[in-house]
Structure 1
Amino acid sequence: MRMAALDPRDHRRDPDGETAGFADLAGSPSRADRDRIAVSPFFARLGGVTQVVSAGGSGLLHNRLTHSIKVAQVARAIAERINASADADLAQKLGGLDPDVVEAASLAHDLGHPPFGHLGERTLDRIARNRFGLADGFEGNAQTFRIITTTDVRGPSAAGLDLTAAVRAAVLKYPWARLHVPVPHPSTMEVPPRGAAEPDDAPGTGSSKFSAYVTELDDFAQARAPFAARVEYWQQTVEASVMDTADDIAYAIHDLQDFHRIGVLQHATVAAELGEWAEHRSELSRLDDATVSERSRRPGFSLERLRRRLQLKDSWIVDDDAFGEAVARVREALVEGLLGSAFDGSLEAEQATAAFSARWTSRLVEGVSLIASPPPRSGHVTLNTAQWHEVQVLKFVHRRFVLLRPDLALHQRGQAALVSTLVDALEAWLGDRDEVFRLPRRLHDLVELAHGEYRELARTAPELLVGATGDRVEGADAVRGLARGRAVVDFVASLTDKQAVTLLDALSGRASQPWSDSFVL
């Protein structure tokens, strides 16, 4: 791939190509990038993709679109705050901090989320690795990078959005591939960056989080090249770090609002957990790990497990006193404040919910700082000690009292089965010689695109073309098999929740009307 001058803010993949679609309305490249993302059909589809649970048309719950917009708001506020502070010079030395870049990256950061959110992500990863033999499986962050560089059609060669290097680099929350790249791979570090380590339950599969498939390594290298002398090869750019921090802040606050609204987050259970830990923290700290784990369903014990897990993984910032103060602050604001009264749709309830969000967003944004030499598990942009602990406690409440609910698990098991069955049906269609010519045009195009990519890898970098077991993939049929698998995964990942359900209904003969969704067909 031809490399242009290394100015990340005015460096597109194909700077001499003709502009496709409509003319950019913005004067600066970064604002043009933001506009390209905002008009992408992949961005529009996020309105129909689950954040945690389906909104069911109520308009009350966040989806991936509203979440992305709020992340962009928070990220821009962080960038502007840093640029107006004494840290502005440091930000420039580290590669620059453009509010338009962080806003664009924030809008783009969830483009790769498949139907049904993280549940769909885990299901597609398992299918991609175990059924299709794709060593890099599926990962929402890597799928985002694939969309903006390959499968969207805004660029001059109808491949990707042709974004500047700065925005592409800012989307790379985990700047490595699952395996092999870069060398040495961050997973081999004594203290791996957050997300780089292998999952405990899947040794040998590579990093649990990563931001590029082997098919996008040229774009990955080009996006990172302008920052090579500014940040370590395994570190986020400053702009990616802002986006990542903003994502954490939005996630910690807004999902709690949602589940208070619909009555899932209950005062009594949250109050018992936080209150019991605060009252008995000394006794809990003296128990052995096995006892704490065995009693994790009792109030206070799950929070104690969190404290110990943070000590183990994030000793660079964890402080027991700060943890205790964070529990007290969250208890006062969330338990005695927001959850103190049931949400009844009244103006008073709406005002309380809005005030909770505004206060916490302001507090967390004010707690952001820029550091020159962060530890491996932190970016250059991080929260101060007090706010960092508060985010951990807020996220704990969300996980403990929402994500681990049996009724949500029941719902998600059904969604996982739906995704798996849909992949089965599409794979069978691809293998049906009598019907393959009537494939949805988009799926046909994705097969051809992936086939070209994997043939090129087999020719130029065969060492990267390995199956899920680590064996070299050789032969035209094996390469085409990888391409078909990647294409099916790309296709399913591009659907909304509703499209996935109705497409499976159509394929299984349950639909009463012909399928007519032009984006899918």
Structure 2
Amino acid sequence: MDETDPRAARRDPENGAGGFTDLATSPFRVDRDRITASPFFARLGGVTQVVSAGGAGLLHNRLTHSLKVAQVARGIAERITGSSESAELAAKLGGCDPDACEAAALAHDLGHPPFGHLGEQILDRIARHRFGLADGFEGNAQSFRILTTTDVRGPSAIGLDLTTAVRAAVLKYPWARLHYPQPHPTAMPLPPRGAAEPDDAPGTGASKFSAYVTELDDFEQSRAPFAGRIEPWQQTVEASVMDTADDIAYAIHDLQDFHRIGVLQHAPVAAELGEWLAHAVELASLDDARLTAEIRRPGRSLERMRRRMHLKDSWIVDDDAFAAAVARVQRELVDGLLADGFDGSTEAEQATAAFSANWMARLVDGVFVLSSPPTRSGHVSLRPAQWHEVQVLKFVHRRFVLLRPDLALHQRGQASLVTTLVDALDAWLLDRDEASRLPRRLHDLMELAHGEYSDLARIAPELLVGATGERIEGADEVRGLARGRAVVDFVASLTDKQAVTLLDALSGRSSQPWSDSFVL
């Protein structure tokens, strides 16, 4: 690769400085190696994907999910670069390197906190309402913060010092919550996916975003080589590859997991899909009020999903394609995989593996590159048939796994645990008599965040606002923001087990001193 390629630029060009030696010659392979060597990557083996694995080894965790996303991303990128037409288009849009796509896929979930998406929601609420952090907490933004700031394995001990291309490829939602870019994508008539404000929290900024205000300098540098090639709010081609791979892996592997442990049952899924297929016209004629009143009856949840797709994704949704997708999922998932259950036999394992492999091949085969995508799509997308199939597969997962009452019970306990842990750590930071005995990692995160917010107060005070939009001024208020970010950074860097064990120690329930290594 041309060493002057701006996509390969780093903040610190001395790759081997500070005693670090990179074994690879390709700059994007160097990035991949730095990511997989990071303790933040290793900890993903102890972080929930959907539910805690409990040591059984049967469920995907964030590490195994990331590895599979990387596998899919590399496969997609190699298909793009293997076709002269798509390779030429990708080059015009900024490039598509398989190593860069793989590296971004490996890194995309680094910021996920304990207990997966539930932990993300709880930390966001705490960050905004307790600590007044306007950009709260977001797993994608936390991943970018780790890569550029809080990991110390790079040559300069500030982040991993990755190339601009890989940093840009991690930006699934290439905007900040409120401030960047301007005009902000929330103001667009049809915002990009993830950019719209939450319905229940107007004025709080984008629902999803990939950078906090503390990382805007790295954000801008990462996107600079793509200026004039893609829209300011649009993913790079490599980010779009990673995002598409994430969708494909999520749609298939979580269903496979819950089939293997007996959670995903044949009868309810068959009833939902079969009822909709048999009475699609009749269900489409129901008004919204009646549909809501009958939502527990089979077929109604799927019909409601079809209507929501028309509202949000009119650019691609098609009722014939939707019906064909439901029929395919019924045939291959319901009448195929789920029909015989999972008994641990060789035959059952082979059926599960074949289901995963066949769907993976079909979905990856549906990937193509768009020159001018609609705002809710990336430059890399699925063809209509496969796009609808992914939506139906994800519906089955949400309806028959995520909305189970027993999972809700489990998650309410985890939410309480995260909240109590944040309270305990914040109280420790505020205890002047115990300041010298803080965990070293928490102390360092506090110093880092205080320096960042002090700098913002001096050079970009317009970015330093509270959760309700008020200007942050004064040393105490700045230190309050730093304390909040430090606590959130610290909790987000724990595994599920570490979070539980640390709270036991802080609550006096542990009979032994805290000894597990948690100082990432």
TM-score by length of 2: 0.98
Displacement after TM superposition at 1:136 (Å): 0.1
Give me the whole-angstrom Cα distance separating, in 1, the residues matched to 2:20 and 2:54.
34
Partner deviation per Cα, 1:106-132 (whole Å, 9 max, x = no partner): 000000000000000000000000000
* Aligned AA (2:8): D
1:221 aligns with 2:227: no
Task: Tell me the equivalent position of 2:239.
Answer: 240
1:62 aligns with 2:23: no
User: Any idea what SS the aligned residue of 1:87 has?
Assistant: helix
* Aligned AA (1:351): Q
Partner deviation per Cα, 1:281-321 (whole Å, 9 max, x = no partner): 00000111111122111100000000000000000000000
Displacement after TM superposition at 1:156 (Å): 2.3
Displacement after TM superposition at 1:87 (Å): 0.9
Task: Tell me the equivalent position of 1:385.
Answer: 384
1:11 aligns with 2:43: no
Judge conservation of contact 1:6–1:225 (CA < 8 Å) in 2.
Answer: no
1:397 aligns with 2:396: yes
Judge conservation of contact 1:6–1:226 (CA < 8 Å) in 2.
Answer: no
Partner deviation per Cα, 1:53-104 (whole Å, 9 max, x = no partner): 0111011100000000000000000000111122110010000100000000
Task: Tell me the equivalent position of 1:83.
Answer: 81
Displacement after TM superposition at 1:6 (Å): 7.7
* Aligned AA (1:76): R
Displacement after TM superposition at 1:19 (Å): 2.5
Task: Tell me the equivalent position of 1:23.
Answer: 21
CA RMSD of aligned residues (A): 1.0
Task: Tell me the equivalent position of 2:131.
Answer: 132
Task: Tell me the equivalent position of 1:453.
Answer: 452
* Aligned AA (1:498): K
Give me the whole-angstrom Cα distance separating, in 2, the residues matched to 1:18 and 1:72.
26
Displacement after TM superposition at 1:518 (Å): 3.0
Give me the whole-angstrom Cα distance separating, in 2, the residues matched to 1:410 and 1:494.
24
Task: Tell me the equivalent position of 2:311.
Answer: 312
Task: Tell me the equivalent position of 1:437.
Answer: 436
Query: Closer, same or farther in 2 for the Cα pair 1:337/1:20, shift >3 Å?
Result: farther
**4+ residue segments displaced more than 6 Å:** none
Judge conservation of contact 2:15–2:22 (CA < 8 Å) in 1.
Answer: no
Give me the whole-angstrom Cα distance separating, in 2, the residues matched to 1:184 and 1:516.
49
Give me the whole-angstrom Cα distance separating, in 1, the residues matched to 2:273 and 2:427.
51
* Aligned AA (1:200): D
Partner deviation per Cα, 1:447-488 (whole Å, 9 max, x = no partner): 000000000000000000000010000000000000000000
Give me the whole-angstrom Cα distance separating, in 1, the residues matched to 2:516 and 2:35.
22
User: Any idea what SS the aligned residue of 1:434 has?
Assistant: helix
User: Any idea what SS the aligned residue of 2:432 has?
Assistant: coil
Task: Tell me the equivalent position of 1:115.
Answer: 114
Superposition pairs of residues 418-433 of structure 1, within 5 angstroms: 418-433=417-432
Partner deviation per Cα, 1:322-378 (whole Å, 9 max, x = no partner): 000000000000000110111111100000000000000000000001000000000
Aligned residues: 517
Displacement after TM superposition at 1:9 (Å): 3.3
Judge conservation of contact 1:275–1:300 (CA < 8 Å) in 2.
Answer: yes
* Aligned AA (1:88): A
Between 1:61-70 and 1:10-19, the stretch displaced more is: 10-19
Judge conservation of contact 1:123–1:416 (CA < 8 Å) in 2.
Answer: yes
Task: Tell me the equivalent position of 1:205.
Answer: 204
Give me the whole-angstrom Cα distance separating, in 1, the residues matched to 2:372 and 2:99.
25
Partner deviation per Cα, 1:496-520 (whole Å, 9 max, x = no partner): 0000000000000111111112333
* Aligned AA (1:71): V
Displacement after TM superposition at 1:21 (Å): 4.9
1:512 aligns with 2:518: no
Give me the whole-angstrom Cα distance separating, in 2, the residues matched to 1:286 and 1:64.
41
Judge conservation of contact 2:491–2:499 (CA < 8 Å) in 1.
Answer: yes
Percent identity between the aligned chains?
A: 81
Give me the whole-angstrom Cα distance separating, in 2, the residues matched to 1:201 and 1:215.
26
User: Any idea what SS the aligned residue of 2:263 has?
Assistant: coil
Judge conservation of contact 1:8–1:223 (CA < 8 Å) in 2.
Answer: no
Judge conservation of contact 1:36–1:161 (CA < 8 Å) in 2.
Answer: yes
Judge conservation of contact 1:174–1:209 (CA < 8 Å) in 2.
Answer: yes
